[in-house]
């Protein structure tokens, strides 16, 4: 392992050891509080443009397997951990985390005081950062980090969405059209398990496939970046509302909220982890959920006829909305999350209830 530096846009820097690929990468620095699931995190398209800090200390100890990918590649810009374990122990593992990152040209840094780093992000808010194994001069890295574009200035969905439509499952009773803003594979799996035919459309061709397939449910997926920039998704929901049931998760939820007249805002440091308590206002039940988002809907911006269905008990942010008039339901959290928590798998049945 060679020397590496992580530098933040406020000038703070951490010296550690590289694992994974050699190089230099920049992005928005966020932290994830999940204890496991680094493979799923690395391959989640919603992390495009971000450097992920893991708060759990021991990362890499169960290696990487061939079954738990959320997409076909790694999307994070960089990976930051306290302790990296090159020696892994798991019966499903095929390679080490370091080997996996090298294969996908992703730079990782270990030996970082992640507790101090996370406290800084929580206090100051989300920041841009840069990891380098090539340039170890904090002064020159500081000049570089200032040139990294804000995530709200980038068209990230275009970079992660499929280029061509495809069938994930052709067998089932209910036809679900997935609009791919950066869809996780487990969302597709959950609909398939519920006896659904599943077709995945590029983010900018949803109306074309809607007219061709006449689906029972149009579903907007998760994805990266600022929802207000996803004009194609907002336009699609406005075009289809009232004509077909519509559901959504995460970015899809935010796009639906905007299309119905709501507004979004950027959170101070986002919600990323597997331990957020969310209350279902329809039943009064509280569930532990997985989260991965930087933006949220403003509850007081939602128009009449659109109700908040779920709230986050940590900060009272909107976690779900429903419109019975338009047969629309969406959630901010990730009910499909794997590994766990699995409290909210029932949400997929709620999506299908929209179909009548």
Per-residue pLDDT tens for 101-143?
A: 999 999 999 999 999 999 999 999 999 999 999 999 999 999 9
Indicate yes or no: pTM above 0.75: yes
pLDDT of 339 reads 84
Residue ranges in the chain modelled with pLDDT below 70: none
**Number of compact structural domains in the chain:** 2
Query: Residue 268 phi/psi, 5° resolution?
Result: -60, -45
Q: Does 126 share its domain with 207? A: no
How high is the pLDDT of residue 312? Answer: 98
Is the domain of 342 the same as that of 202?
Answer: yes
Nearest alpha carbon to residue 143 among 7, 52, 23, 49: 7
pLDDT at 356: 81
**What pLDDT, in 10s, does the model give residues 8-40?**
999 999 999 999 999 999 999 999 999 999 999
CA distance 187 to 70: 9
Query: Same domain, yes or no, for 97 and 193?
Result: no
Q: What is the rounded distance in angstroms from the CA atom of residue 143 to the CA atom of residue 145? A: 6
Q: 214: burial class by Cβ within 10 Å (0-12, 13-18, 19+)?
A: exposed
Instruction: From 116, 148, 180, give the residue that closes a domain.
Output: 148
Catalytically annotated residue among 9, 232, 319, 336: 336
CA 174, CA 45: separation in Å to the nearest integer?
26
- Look at residues 63, 64, 38 and name the one whose alpha carbon lies nearest to residue 52: 38
Active site residue 334: yes
| Residues 37 and 87 both lie in one domain | yes
Residues 339 and 199 both lie in one domain: yes
**Rg of the chain in Å (alpha carbons):** 20
Bridge partners, residue 265, by sequence: 296
User: What is the pLDDT, as a whole number, of residue 95?
Assistant: 97
Give bridge partners of residue 272 from the DSSP assignment: 292
Decide: 347 and 335 in contact? Cβ < 8 Å.
Answer: yes
* Domain identity same for 56 and 129: yes
- Mind listing the pLDDT tens digit for each residue in 326-353? 999 999 999 999 887 888 999 999 999 9
- Give which of 215, 264, 254 is closest to 234, Cα–Cα: 254
Catalytic residue among 28, 250, 271, 287, which?
250
Which one is catalytic: 232, 293, 334, 344?
Answer: 334
Same domain as 195, residue 124: no
Choosing from 91, 121, 148, the residue where a domain stops is 148
Q: Which domain holds residue 209?
A: 156-353
Q: What is the mean pLDDT of the chain?
A: 96
Q: Write the CATH number for 103.
A: 3.50.30.20
Give the pLDDT of residue 341: 83
Q: Within this chain, do residues 168 and 306 fall inside the same structural domain, yes or no? A: yes
Tokens standing for 145?
């980090």
């Amino acid at each position: 392992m060679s020397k590496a530096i992580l530098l933040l846009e406020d000038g703070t820097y951490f010296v550690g050891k590289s694992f994974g690929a050699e190089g230099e990468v920049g992005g928005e620095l966020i932290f994830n509080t999940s204890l496991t699931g680094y493979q799923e995190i690395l391959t989640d398209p919603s992390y495009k443009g971000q450097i992920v800090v893991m708060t759990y200390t021991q990362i890499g100890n169960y290696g990487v397997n061939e079954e738990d990918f959320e997409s076909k590649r790694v999307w994070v810009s960089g990976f930051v951990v306290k302790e990296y374990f090159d020696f892994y122990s798991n019966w499903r593992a095929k390679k080490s985390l370091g080997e996996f990152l090298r294969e996908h040209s992703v730079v990782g840094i270990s030996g970082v005081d992640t507790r101090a780093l996370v406290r800084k992000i929580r206090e100051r808010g989300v920041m841009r950062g840069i990891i380098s194994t090539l340039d170890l001069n904090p002064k020159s890295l500081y000049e570089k980090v200032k040139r990294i574009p804000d995530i709200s200035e980038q068209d990230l969905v275009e970079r992660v969405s499929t280029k061509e439509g495809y069938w994930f499952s052709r067998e089932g009773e209910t036809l679900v059209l997935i609009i791919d803003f950066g869809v996780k594979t487990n969302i597709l799996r959950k609909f398939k398990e519920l006896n659904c035919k599943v077709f995945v459309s590029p983010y900018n061709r949803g109306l074309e496939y809607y007219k061709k397939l006449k689906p029972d449910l149009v579903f907007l997926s998760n994805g990266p970046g600022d929802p207000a920039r996803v004009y194609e998704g907002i336009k699609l929901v406005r075009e289809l509302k009232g004509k077909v049931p519509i559901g959504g998760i995460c970015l899809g939820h935010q796009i639906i909220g905007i299309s119905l007249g709501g507004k979004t805002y950027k959170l101070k440091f986002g919600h990323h982890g597997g331990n957020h308590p969310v209350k279902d206002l329809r039943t009064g039940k509280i569930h532990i959920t997985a989260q991965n988002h930087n933006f949220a809907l403003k509850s007081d911006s939602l128009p009449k006829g659109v109700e908040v269905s779920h709230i986050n008990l940590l900060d009272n942010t909107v976690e779900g909305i429903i419109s019975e008039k338009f047969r629309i339901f969406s959630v901010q959290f990730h009910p499909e999350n794997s590994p766990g928590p699995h409290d909210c798998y029932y949400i997929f049945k709620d999506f299908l209830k929209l179909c009548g």
